[in-house]
Copies of this chain bind each other. A is one copy, B any other.
Amino acid sequence: MAEKKAIADALICTVDVVLLTLHEQQLQVALIEREHAPFEGALALPGGYVRTAQDRSTTEAAVRVLREKAALASPWLEQLGSFSGPERDPRGWSLSVAYYALVPAALLEGQPGLQLRPVARLPRLPFDHRAIIEAAVARVRTKSQYSSLPVHLCGETFTLPQLQAVYEALLGEPINKVSFRRKIDQLGMVEPVEGAQELGRANRPAQLYRLRRAFRQKLSLLERGLNARN
């Protein structure tokens, strides 16, 4: 340890996860009450120190944090970026590698430790957690324009109108149905679940779809964004 300290400055290294879901047609972020100082008791992003004895990467640290603090096994998870500096943490110069995860709201139900808050009305947050959440939301919205990313907010199976509603909630504007269906075809990311239908509101059965296996761990990308004019 002495040797390491001689060659590199000591700094605090953590991971934080922006856990996003769609609840009441709104994009919401899952926050938890901090158990320890600094900011004990405050709502904050789930996060923690990188534990070099057990985490083989910061991604593994983020996966561990989600497992320990949100009981999630393998949600869609991507690195957002690093946030660093001498003032973001009162304990000293710190670096947080931030991730974002997308999960269906059903996976978060019944977890008393987690509190959902709409990203459009965030409470006061410690550290630079507001900036981290805003960066994650901007990234998710941009990526949603041209990829299969939003499907990770849906449950195992969904109808195409439900999927369209998810895209619309994320992008914050209506999408033309014909154009949406064409884009979804182009993305090639979903497949009908054979023999599975859901009764629609007008009692017209709607076909259920699911994400194709090939896209559970990688995104499908559009050449043109969903809202590109023509």
**Interface residue ranges, A against B (CB under 8 Å):** 1, 4-5, 7-14, 49-53, 56-59, 79, 81-82, 84-86, 91-93, 95, 97, 223-225, 227-229
Contacts and interface: CB of A to CB of B under 8 A. Distances in A.
B82 A9 contact: no
Contact of A224 (B8, B13, B223): B223
Q: Which of A8, A95, A225 has the most CB of B within 10 A?
A: A8
B229 A4 contact: no
Given A58-B84, A223-B225, A224-B225, A50 B9 contact: yes
Contacts of A1: 5, 10
Contact of A228 (B12, B13, B50, B223): B223
Given A58-B95, A84-B57, A85-B57, A4 B10 contact: yes
Nearest to A13: B11
A84 to B, nearest CB: 5
Contacts of A223: 224-225, 227-229
A79 B81 CA distance: 7
A112 to B, nearest CB: 27
B95 A13 contact: yes
Contacts of A57: 84-85
Nearest to A58: B84
B84 A81 contact: no
A185 B43 CA distance: 46
Given A11-B52, A58-B82, A59-B84, 8 more contacts: A4-B92, A5-B5, A9-B49, A10-B52, A52-B86, A82-B97, A84-B97, A223-B225
Sort A-B residue pairs by CB-CB distance and give the 9 closest, nearest first: A52-B93, A223-B228, A9-B52, A224-B224, A224-B228, A58-B84, A57-B85, A82-B97, A8-B12
Nearest to A53: B9
Nearest to A3: B91
A65 to B, nearest CB: 15
